[in-house]
Structure 1
Amino acid sequence: MVKELTIEILALVDPVVDKLKRHQLSGDKTIALEISQLLMRVISAARWNSPFELIQIIRQVGKTLNTAQPKEIITGNIVRRVLAIIRDEVEEEDQDKDQTMMNSIFSLLSTQKPDKKIYQQSKKQSSDFRSIIIQGIRDLVDEITNVNEGLENMAVDLIHDNEILLTPTPNSDTVLKFLLKARSKRKFTVLVTENYPNGIEQAHKFVKTLADHKIETVLIPDTTVFAVMSRVGKVIIGSNAVFANGGCLSNSGVSSVVECAKENKTPVFAVAGLFKLSPLYPFNRDDLIEVGDSGKILNYSDFKLVDNVDLVSNPLNDYIPPEHIDIYITNIGGFAPSFIYRIVLDNYKPEDTHLD
């Protein structure tokens, strides 16, 4: 039976739901931290008689958040990470109980006088369990907050002197920090696509930031990617979410860039924090793509053109299949797309893959 959320819990969840519906939370890192802080408050306020009731509460909260913004993968990732923390603690407690029981059985068979310590059970009170879970979430918050530090440490080893790099994701703060860190010991050139029509302003800010840090940077139209790809040493992309099969979501237009890179045998590096790895599989890829304002593609004032077009679509992201990515650079190391499923198994529980 699904446990309904209490009024106290809903009072904590509803403001975050409203922010998600209105798209007031921008940036994957911001969303991840917001959801982590919310779950910490929920666990502090919730009342339960067993850890399994707490799991049901968190699952219900996760379902509510997913309903608010169904295409946002990060929200579900954080909920599943917290559920994994709870389940790990339950398993550890069960192992302690089993060990205590085995020791008690052996003591009964022994001819020696049993030690009183053997009969002491390591039952955690609900307050102790609560504090352990909250500490686990705090560790998760620290991981998300410092995610760029782990990624930056690999930048110098992966980028060479006088190399030409190309990035089609100028809105990625992770890619920006990655390149700035590499500049401390390497000299290179960065080609940045203008990311028309949704990210032109971000592309200009991205280029200016790189130039301010003495990095030679060139802003190029999206249509010139094929022409310059033969001179590019590496393509570096940011990712919005990484799926268990090794595919990922990225900016609109990135799929054509990585296809061009594959044609020219140019390696593609995708940078992503561990919190972006998801246990989901992209079975229906069309459901993953969020659509934005079509007026940016074809202005409504051009009514003569609008009348002659059946459909004008402005997808905000692209799905990148695993065969178009050479390596994922995460804050815990670099991994091939075929190994992503193993990292997912280490951080999520199979029973929480679907929150419904």
Structure 2
Amino acid sequence: MAPSQTSHVPTLDSLIKAFDSQSLEASVESLIFLLKRRQVKGDECAKATAHILCQVVTKSTWHDVDQLISRVQITGSRLARAAPMEPVIGNIVRRVLGLIRDEASEDRNADDGGSDAGSDIQALPASANLPQKPHPLPFRPPPSVAAAGLQVSKSMFNLLSVADTSDSLMTGASTPMSQAQPTSMHALRSEVKDGIDEILDEINQADDQIAGFAEIQIHPGDYVLAYQPTKTVERFLVKAASKRRFTVIFAGLDSPAPGSAEPPYAALRKRLNAAGVETINLASNGLMAYIPRVNKVIFGAKAVYQNGGLLVNSGCCIAALAAHEYLKPVIVLSPVYKFCPEDPSDEVLRGELGNPSSYVSYANGPAVEALDIESTITEYIPPELIDVYLTNLGPQTQHHLASILADHYKTEDINFAVHLAEP
């Protein structure tokens, strides 16, 4: 059941606290409800998804690795379907699935390591002078055998015999995860929970880590165009202002935010001005006039796809095209957890439509009856318009994206939600 109180929008902290005090299914339904209403969006989706999956690991019933993976896949699929224009949800689900597979593999390899000695003993030729025992051969050689100093032939035949016998006793890399028996499911649960906590730490620290590269990217006297600056961009500019003196040109919003009488980016402008950085508010129709003066264009991304394309706030593509035309570098700020190991969908390419009432008043019904008004919230930027991807791991180029994706995602988890039906 979805929450009945829709007038109050909970903060992320209150939502996470509620997860601990209610059942797993109630927590999942609450988050799905808020995702569909766009009351949880952006970076909050990543944090909320990680917390929900932590609840799946700690609260749900599972007896082996396959069951745990299935629980995470089903829950992650439900969240991803609730907000298809928030790719970061799928990214966090894939990260957790990869974490589970790594932890299970480590446990399995640890168990396999203890059977090496046994396999060597069982591979001894029948002619070896082993003591005759009425019971099966022990796991380790008895003292009499060790004292005798048996010499095992190192011929290629014996080596192959040892390998074949070991393979029959140990689970290989292709063994299904259901055959991997960790020493303790409780230990696996604890390890996965700790891994999710590390993912949450990465999310919380990413903006500060990106801001640490501000001094390298922004030089004294630069004119920096910040188009609809996100929280990541704001922190980046404030950090740069502590070391450099430059000018910031804000573009993308011409009117105050709803419910606010202050001009756009008023709080950020005050902080930058206090640090000695000049700021200019630019109307959208004046963008092309300032581009020749600009040294670089900076904006944040909602997602970075494997081909290097971006999902961004509507309007950023205009700034990127203008910069490309005038050969100005375009720097996109994006944490690694926003990198998607897939190509953009048709829905992403078309862009997300929002409420156009902020542009046209429907109180004048007769005047707009014949109009079909569309207001885009997001849009797609092709990779050829981007010069630098500045992440919490440092500056990257398009050619380095494949290695980053390979380091953070498992191949088998890329399409985790495609074949899962809505439960």
Q: Retained in 1: the 8 A contact 2:305–2:340?
A: yes
3-state SS of 2:353 partner: coil
1:188 aligned partner: 246
- 1:159/1:264 CA distance change after superposition, 3 Å: same
Say whether 1:334 aligns with 2:395.
yes
One-letter code of the match for 2:37? R
Query: Greater Rg, structure 1 or structure 2?
Result: 2
Q: Per residue, is there more helix in 1 or in 2?
A: 1
Letter in 1 for 2:226: T
Change (3 A) 1:341 1:285: farther
Q: Note closer, same or farther for the CA distance 1:273–1:157 as it changes in structure 2 (3 Å cut).
A: same
Distance, in Å, in 1 between the alignment partners of 2:383 and 2:349 is 18
Amino acid corresponding to residue 189 of structure 1 in structure 2: T
* Change beyond 3 A, Cα 1:124–1:300: same
Aligned equivalent of 2:219: 160
Residue in structure 2 matched with residue 65 of structure 1 by the alignment: 79
Question: Which of 318, 323, 340 is the equivalent residue of 2:384?
Answer: 323
Aligned residue identity for 2:272: L
Q: Is the 8 A contact 2:349 2:380 kept in 1?
A: no
Preserved contact between residue 108 and residue 182 of structure 2 (Cα < 8 Å): no
Question: 1:52 is matched with which residue?
Answer: 66
Q: Aligned to 2:58, what secondary structure does the other structure show?
A: helix
Q: Does 1:219 align with 2:234?
A: no
Q: Report what 1:291 is aligned to.
A: 353
Q: CA deviation at 1:266?
A: 0.2
Judge conservation of contact 2:302–2:311 (CA < 8 Å) in 1: yes
Q: 1:114 aligns with which of 140, 144, 152?
A: 140
> Do residues 17 (structure 1) and 32 (structure 2) align?
yes
Question: Is 106-115 or 91-100 further displaced after alignment?
Answer: 106-115
CA–CA separation in structure 2 for the residues paired with 1:286 and 1:150: 28
Q: C-alpha distance in 2, partners of 1:209/1:303?
A: 42
User: Where do residues 98-247 of structure 1 align in structure 2 (5 Å cutoff)?
Assistant: 98-109=112-123, 114=140, 123-170=182-229, 172-196=230-254, 202-247=264-309
Query: Which of the numbers 304, 320, 344 marks the counterpart of 2:405?
Result: 344
Q: Cα distance, 1:87 vs. partner?
A: 1.2
Contact 2:46–2:92, Cα closer than 8 Å, also in 1: yes
Task: Give the AA of the match of 1:21.
Answer: K
Residue 187 (structure 1) shift: 0.6
- Aligned residues of 1:247 and 1:337 also touching (Cα < 8 A): no
Q: CA deviation at 1:202?
A: 4.8
Q: How does 1:56-95 map to 2 (within 5 A)?
A: 56-95=70-109
1:259 aligns with 2:321: yes
Q: Percent identity?
A: 30
Q: Quick check: 1:165–1:235 contact (8 Å CA) kept in 2?
A: yes
Distance 2:97 2:191 in 1: 13
- Matches of 1:147 and 1:328 in 2, distance apart? 14
CA contact (8 A) 2:222 2:247 kept: yes
Judging changes above 3 Å, is the alpha-carbon distance between structure 1 residues 179 and 238 closer, same or farther for their aligned structure 2 residues?
Answer: same
- 1:74-96 CA-to-partner distances (Å, cap 9, x unmatched) read 21111111111011122223333
The answer for the alignment partner of 2:45 in structure 1 is 31
Matched-pair contact (CA < 8 Å) for 2:246–2:277: yes
What letter is aligned with 1:245? N
Q: Which moved more, 1:278-287 or 1:82-91?
A: 278-287
SS in 1 for 2:49: helix
248 and 103 in structure 1: CA distance in 2 versus 1, 3 angstrom threshold: farther
Contact 1:248 1:320 in 2 (8 A): yes
Count of residue pairs brought into register by the alignment: 346
For 2:396, the aligned partner's letter is F
In 1, Cα distance between equivalents of 2:70 and 2:383: 34
Give 1:115 shift. 6.6
Separation of aligned partners in 2, 1:279 and 1:288: 20
**1:199/1:333 CA distance change after superposition, 3 Å:** farther
Unaligned runs of 5+ in 2: 1-21, 131-138, 143-168, 170-179
RMSD: 2.7
| SS at structure 2 position matched to 1:146 | helix
**Structure 1 unmatched ranges of 5 or more:** 1-6
CA 1:259–1:305 in 2, change beyond 3 Å: closer, same or farther? farther
Partner-residue secondary structure (3-state), 2:249: strand
Deviations 1:194-248 (A, max 9, x none): 4257968653443334334332110000111111111110101111111111111
Offset at 1:136?
Answer: 0.3
Change (3 A) 1:218 1:103: farther
Corresponding position of 2:153:
none
